[in-house]
Each structure stands twice: as structure tokens, then as C-alpha cells.
Amino acid sequence: MKKVMALLLTMVLTISMLAGCTKQADTTDENQPASTDTTSDTEEAKDDATTSTVEKKEVVIWDYFETDAQKQMMQTLIDGFNASQEEFVLSHVYVPFADYEKQLTLGVASGELPDLVILDGCDMASFISLGLFGDISEGTKDVAWDEYIAGPLSSTMMDGNHYGVPFATNCTALFYNKDLFDAASLAYPNENTTWDEFKTMAATLTKDGIYGFGNAATNTDEGTFQCLQWLYTAGGSYTDITGGIEAYQLMQDMINAGSWTKEVVNWTQSDVNNNFIAGNLAMQQNGPWQIPGIAANAPELNYGVTVLPKFDANSGQATSILGGENMGAVNKEDMSGAIAFIKYYDQTEVMVEAMKLYGSFPPKSEAANDTYWTSDPIQAAFIKQLETSIPRGPSASWPSYSAAIQTGFQEVMTSAKTPEKAAADTQAAVDAVE
């Protein structure tokens, strides 16, 4: 992997980097006028203390946040941290999402990097392997890591060591149109709904131009994000494709029956939600970031959210795939500022207020159980789904795994291959990833 990245670096044109390095805060040092009076040593020491320059270490964090709510959240965190102590001054630099990975990769080579980086959780493992992030295990021994939700936490670690902290977390769950269920005299899906029951629900609801179910299955990591859950729920994993072959069978059966719309191979998550809002889908797999859009564009939509259907009556709750961001500490000789801010964010009350502004969920169990989320049945469904959600990977080679996995889903959803053939070929592709 490092050789591949080194080759890529030689192909990228050198660009100026947005850099953040430790420096002193601006201060004023005024010269005192000369005096003919004799003063004591104590008075001179007092004068020296008054006029001495107060030095604070600057801590810089990169993010790609663009919405007003996200910007407000970051500024609130920055102001709170700066007011909480006297040793550091935190500021942030916006880097466009489209340029983010390139800027980080170039920064690894040049050394021009901030102290902290917020990034997509599935990307962290590859950057740990590249040496971007430093091990903060020693400096965070007083952090109660067992209070974090297991899935998000694992995406910030490698070989048992901590390289950062989960920042914001989310997952997908099952949205359903209550009015369509009521019209069909169907009970709403719930945490006990099995694949067989889900399949029957979708078939019953598919009529008059309405499809029973849809999700995002584009041939990108967005598609992997939404489809991989079905593979895990069937007993497979991102490295054990054939172990989840029944997910391929379910998809192909439902698409052939017309109850899982075949259009999903071209749909993004926004496309899926727009069709749900328009009444073209009775159920959709999607995330909590769609809730504000539904409230704004379809305030009368009578819908609910529950966890995704489980494999069978003897299985536990279905898994989902984690989305959201991590915050990593950049590998530097002095990482004290980065660790100080991580510990500040680790405070439950700080995390809760930040995530209220951000519109996502806190990665700590205690914070996620705040009544702000648990008192809302729709938000509470996502909190419950997070209990069994897992990261993509984590692997330094995740992009290669994702491409191979989503190609297999596309092949089975378009009936280009049988479930058996698609699973076997995808397994071979996954096995070939280095």
C-alpha cells in the first residue's frame, strides 16, 4: 500500500498546502519608562511578571464541513476549548471535500499538516498505515474508552492502539410509510421482523406504481455503505462473501419479483429518499440525515423508522454499516494540543451539544442516550440500530475491497450473474486485494 501511495504522490502536482503549525499567540510587550527611584527586587519581579509575554501553543484542525450548522458546531467547540484552558489556542481550516484526501496524502509527504484531522471513518485505517496519525494511547489512559460504541471506536484503532476518537456517527435503518401499510392492513415492521416477513411485506405493498422497497446501490462506496449490511446479516463479511450468499439470493429474488426496485443500481441515497417522499417507495433504507429534508419537503408524510430486518427468528438484531467522521491526532513530536482537544471533546456534555448542532449521533453510549435523541421515536430507532452497526473494514485497502464488493452487488441486482456466480467471483476479487 505504501508503495502504491508513493507512486501516486509522484504523479500529483505540488500544490500549496493549508498548514497549521505550533506558534506563539500575538502578544504585547511594552517597554517601561526609566525611573530614578530605587525599587525592591520584589517590585521588579512583579513588573517583569506583568509585562512578560504569555505563550500559547496553536492547535489547528482540518475539516470539510460546509453547512451553516456544521460551521456553527465547529466554532462552538473551538470557543469552548479555548475558554476551558490557558495552554492552547485552537483554530480550524476548511479544506474542500473533493480535495481532502489529496491534501492529506501530500501532507504526509511534505510534513505540512495540522494537529488534528476530521475525516470519513472508513478512510482512517489507510491513513494510519501511511503514518498520518500518531499513537495517543499513552496520553489518553484516563479516557474511558469502554464508554464508546464499539463499532465507531474500532475504526479509530489499529493493533490495539488509539489514533484518535470517533467524532460523529450514524447508520442506516428502515423507513416505512405508515399510510401505505395501513391501506394494505399490514402491521408495521419492527425489531423482530425477519427477512421472510420483510419480503412478504414488500411484495404486498408493490402495486399501482409503488415499489415495496428501495435502497442506494450505485457502483460506488455509497452503494457499498448501503448494501454491505445485507451481506453481514446473512452471515458473511467484507472478506467472507460466500458466507453471506443468501443476501445475494434475497436481492435477486425481490428484484425479479419487482418488490425491490431494479432502479436502485442507479440511485444515490438522496434519490432513494426523494422517491420515498414522492410515495414511490413503501419502505426505504436510509440515514438520519434525511430527516430534515422530509420535515422540510414533506411535513405531512406519515412515516416511522425501525431497525433493519433480521435474518430469521433465531438471529439477533441485524447489523448496519457505520457512517460518520473520526478525529485523528496527526503524528508529530508534540501531540499535546491534539490530545488536549480530544480529551475536551470526550466530555459527554460537550459531545452532546456538538452533535445536537451537527445533526448526527454521539459515539459514546451515555451521550447517545441523552433524552434529546431517546425521547424521539424516530431518532431512538437509529440509536438502537447503532448498537449492532459496524465500520466499513477497517482496512488500509478499503477502496479496493469496496470496489470489488459493490461490483458483485451490481451483478446480482441486474441479474448479470446468478447469486452463486456473483458470490464466487466477488470472493475471488476480495481475496486478491493486498
* Alpha-carbon gap, residue 113 to 111, rounded angstroms: 6
Q: What share of the chain is helix, strand, coil (3-state, %, to 5)?
A: 50, 15, 35
Q: Same domain for 333 and 280?
A: no
15 is a domain residue:
no
* Alpha-carbon gap, residue 397 to 7, rounded angstroms: 16
Using the predicted structure, report yes or no on whether residue 29 has a pLDDT greater than 90: no
Provide the pLDDT confidence category of residue 53 given band limits of 50, 70 and 90: low
Q: Same domain for 281 and 414?
A: yes
Q: Same domain for 133 and 278?
A: no
* Alpha-carbon gap, residue 388 to 366, rounded angstroms: 16
Least confident of 146-150, 195-199, 206-210: 146-150
Domain count, the chain: 2
**Cell 440500530 sits at which residue?**
385
Q: Same domain for 380 and 409?
A: no
The CATH number of whichever domain residue 132 belongs to comes to 3.40.190.10
33 is a domain residue:
no
User: Which domain range does residue 184 map to?
Assistant: 173-321+397-431
Q: Taking Cα atoms as reference points, which of 180, 414, 386, 388 lies closest to residue 283?
A: 180
74 is a domain residue:
yes
Q: Give mean pLDDT, residues 145-154.
A: 91
Q: Taking Cα atoms as reference points, which of 329, 324, 343, 325 lies closest to residue 113?
A: 329
Provide the pLDDT confidence category of residue 66 given band limits of 50, 70 and 90: confident
C-alpha cell at 410: 451490481
Q: Same domain for 209 and 289?
A: yes
Using one digit for the tens of pLDDT, what is the confidence trace for 404-433?
999 999 999 999 999 999 999 999 999 999
36 is a domain residue:
no
Task: Identify the residue with better confidence: 138 or 31.
Answer: 138
Using one digit for the tens of pLDDT, what is the confidence trace for 252-301?
999 999 999 999 999 999 899 999 999 999 999 999 888 888 988 899 99
Indicate the pTM of the whole model: 0.76
142 is a domain residue:
yes
Q: How far, rounded to the nearest angstrom, does the alpha carbon of residue 20 sit from its chain's CA centroid?
A: 24
Q: Same domain for 150 and 208?
A: no
Q: Give mean pLDDT, residues 186-211.
A: 98
H or E stretch including 176? strand 173-177
Integer angstrom CA distances of residue 300 from 178, 272, 296, 384? 12, 18, 10, 25
Task: Identify the residue with better confidence: 367 or 193.
Answer: 193
